[in-house]
Amino acid sequence: MQRIVVSGVGVVSSIGIGKEEFWRNLIKGKSGIKKITLFDTSRFKRHYGGEIKNFHPEKIIPFSLLSVFPRASCFSIFAVKEALEDAKFEIVRQKTRYSLKNTKKRIAIIIGTTMAEANVLDISSERIIKKRWDEISFNLLLNTFSPSIPRNIGYFFKIEDKNILIPNACAAGNFALGYGYDLLKKGEIDLAIVGGAESLSRGAFQGFHKLYAMAPRLCQPFDKNRKGMILGEGAGILILEREKDALERKAFIYAEVLGYGMSSDAYHMTIPKKEGIKKAIEKALEEAKISIRDVDYINAHGTGTIQNDKAETGAIKEVFGSFYKKIPISSIKSMIGHCMGAASAIEAVACCLAIKEGVIPPTINFKTPDPECDIDCVPNEARKKRLNIVLNNGFAFGGNNCCVVFKSYS
């Protein structure tokens, strides 16, 4: 019956490295969408993304390990360190790595992703094409394996307990959070480092481009003239633990996790189904033991595609009935892009900060209301509101849906 709480957060995004800069720019409605420089987009019709431009992993990762850890792992390591320190854990540097000082806790690292270190495949394939075989190193090959991100986190922080990767695509961050919540509830672990990570890659960009799912320049969730998603990258990390452990350490508690709900559409690989989304939301509310009138804010999946925004709005209408118009529902993907496996994790961080600060992030780039998406999408400007219950939606290809409920802590 222990309450599970969020005691630390860390984030790397295109609008901010670290929670302070991220939050400051989030409520300003700043866009992190710019021309992509990580790889050549000249042969594509789309050229923009939420690329992280001023990230300096060498500030915490020694040069000897930078060649070992690819981009998404570096994002994750930075966010994990911030989250652990935010949760009042003492991090000690030991030569090239770090460790948690004076802790005998059973720790689980649970990371969600869509394509793991996909940019490693970009590098490898390019070197193969150019017949530069000798440049395909052993470390490069090691990081093509799916569990590389949580493995690299565990290695860097000398955490030798549970190490899990959840590859449930664009809802993976929420799935990771839910699994960490379950392990804590069952008493199998004492601390869960959960979240999601993703790096922009030519492979992912090409895939979404081929689906005709990407907008030319702006992501406009719920706008009548929306033209699709914009890809992004980054990492979002949350520290979950039992209430008593956080209080003993005098950590600040951002929120309580009340529960989560999952569903599978079993319908189509790329087309969302309203009924599946509805089921995930209903299950989350049921596990959290709350009513539809308790929800103060919904952080929408809100990709900016025609089908996703329509399906999500339809599901919300059916779950909340006539009450849906009274709930603010915004999408931060309008600012940071769709960060795939990191998306719902970064959005979970945003939910916790919104509860703490009493401010709802806006949906930017909103110009023309859509009768089929007639929600209060908090258009263009942040809004002050005391938040008690927040719902975080995460949906993925294959109809994998996961929604998490947070509650302000008292």
SS3 category, 184: helix
Please tell me the distance from the alpha carbon of residue 338 to that of residue 344, in angstroms, as a whole number: 9
Amino acid (1-letter code) at residue 19: K
Q: Catalytic residue at 56?
A: no
Q: Catalytic residue at 352?
A: no
SS3 category, 5: strand
- In angstroms, the Cα distances linking 151 to 33, 157, 189, 236 are 30, 10, 18, 17
According to DSSP, the residues that pair with 231 across neighbouring strands are 338
Name the residue among 402, 408, 358 with its Cα closest to residue 181.
402
According to DSSP, the residues that pair with 99 across neighbouring strands are 92
Selected catalytic residue, list 74, 209, 219, 301: 301
Asked if 223 contacts 370 with a C-beta cutoff of 8 angstroms, the reply is: yes
Asked if 365 contacts 219 with a C-beta cutoff of 8 angstroms, the reply is: yes
Asked if 97 contacts 152 with a C-beta cutoff of 8 angstroms, the reply is: no
Looking at residue 68, what DSSP letter applies?
T
Amino acid (1-letter code) at residue 131: K
Residues contacting 31, CB < 8 A, separation 6+: 15, 334, 335, 364, 365
Residues in the chain, overall count:
410
- In angstroms, the Cα distances linking 391 to 71, 78, 123, 293, 352 are 30, 26, 38, 12, 11
Name the residue among 294, 301, 354 with its Cα closest to residue 323.
294
Selected catalytic residue, list 56, 209, 268, 338: 338
* Active-site residue set: 170, 301, 338
